[in-house]
Amino acid sequence: MKKVTSALIFPETEPSIHGVAKLLIFFTALSYYLPTETDGAINGSSNFFTNLCAGYAPAPLGDDLYRFKRLLREMETSRPDELSRLFSTAKAPMAAGHARDQDETSAAGVYSALSKDAEIKTSTRYKERLWQARLILKLAEMLDRREMEVRQGLAQVSSVEQQVFASLAGFGEAETADLTELNGLDKLQRQKSKDNLPHESPLETSGMLISLRLKAWAELYLADSPDLHTLILASANAESGAILLDSYENTWRRDPKILFSLSIPAVNPADIEGAWDQYLASRNAFRSAAQENIEYFARFLQVTATSAGLPPNNREEISLLTKNVSAWEEKVQVHFPDPETRFKKLDFYCFPGISFAELFQRLYHVDGPIPANNKQQRPTALLAILKS
């Protein structure tokens, strides 16, 4: 049942530690996409969640990797007005055409040559789409890191302000050390400081870019091997999940089916050195206590995913589902009793009769070439969204 309780994170290619920590309360393991085969987790989550969360490249660049990375280095140092030029030169290398003999008059020969040219053009367009998708995802990573630096800087300013106000209230004048503390912090110190830093670090790119980012991520999904696909797509960003739900509803004129919802403690193991052992011990203890319930949910999701219709809705199944959800809620309160612990909701949805490959092809008008074995998907897509 391990694959059943595993999930593929979307659309982040550098998942936040905070989001991963919450999702792992339910999921046995998580995976996520890397835009290229040499990418790694810059935020350190691969070391933090060893054997629990891992990234891989669904469509390696191979010989084009060097050219792609050189373009990225240009982008990192370019002005905004130069980005359009870089995008226009970002297409995948064009495949060399096959020159035809001018004296070629055979109808069969002409047809064969035209067919070969069409295949080359189709293959080239496919490579260009993947190339552009990787660029969008890499640009989104850059924006996420810059926004994180801004949030950390603002949080540090807020921390120093509170210290100054506390000093004024207690002693009538601010101490010089408080007033000069912020100015004396270098960039590294600010990043390491944990006073009043935001507890959440989700995907917070602007709304316009989230939709574009999701479309780019879908291109990689369609290029991935179906054998590597997990049963469930999961996101710690509610807006990304809402885009898929709304798109499905608007395109198929049907509502997504909500299966069940579970409370998830808003754990935040921000201090990697100190909090990791405590987080892991709490997670494992809870999952051990809830093992029977997790196994039930896994079976329920498996049956739903392999069914072309709605999930089991007979009276006995509904009673079992309600019983296991109630048991989960009781156990999560027992194992995370701290009154300061906040809880989020992990909502599970399905798209009856629609696989994720069909969903993305239809939503983003992808007309190929998509590997034929992508048609051999489970008939019903499952989606898990972490919400406030």
Q: Which residue has the tokens 């196994």?
A: 295
Domain assignment present for 196 = no
pLDDT per residue as tens digits for the range 31-89: 999 988 887 644 545 566 778 999 999 988 888 888 888 877 777 776 655 555 555 55
pTM for the whole thing?
A: 0.77
CA distance 379 to 231: 11
User: What's the token pair of residue 312?
Assistant: 């089991």
pLDDT per residue as tens digits for the range 304-360: 998 876 666 778 888 999 999 999 999 999 999 887 789 999 999 999 889 999 999
Domain assignment present for 23 = yes
Residue 93 has pLDDT above 60, yes or no: no
User: What's the token pair of residue 116?
Assistant: 């070969």
Domain assignment present for 13 = yes
Number of domains in the chain: 1
Domain assignment present for 15 = yes
* pLDDT value of position 101: 44
Mean pLDDT of the 230-250 span = 93
Domain assignment present for 300 = yes
Residue 195 has pLDDT above 60, yes or no: no
Listing DSSP states for 161-207 in one string gives HHHHHHHHHHHSS--HHHHHHHHH--HHHHHH--TT--S-------H
Domain assignment present for 375 = yes
Domain assignment present for 348 = yes
Residue 187 has pLDDT above 50, yes or no: no
Whole-number average pLDDT of the chain = 76
Residues in the chain: 388
Residue 264 has pLDDT above 70, yes or no: yes
* pLDDT value of position 9: 96
CA distance 18 to 20: 6
Full domain range(s) for residue 49:
6-62+202-387
**3 state DSSP class of 387:** strand
Q: Are 61 and 90 in contact (CB under 8 A)?
A: no
* pLDDT value of position 117: 54
Q: Are 382 and 298 in contact (CB under 8 A)?
A: no
Domain assignment present for 327 = yes
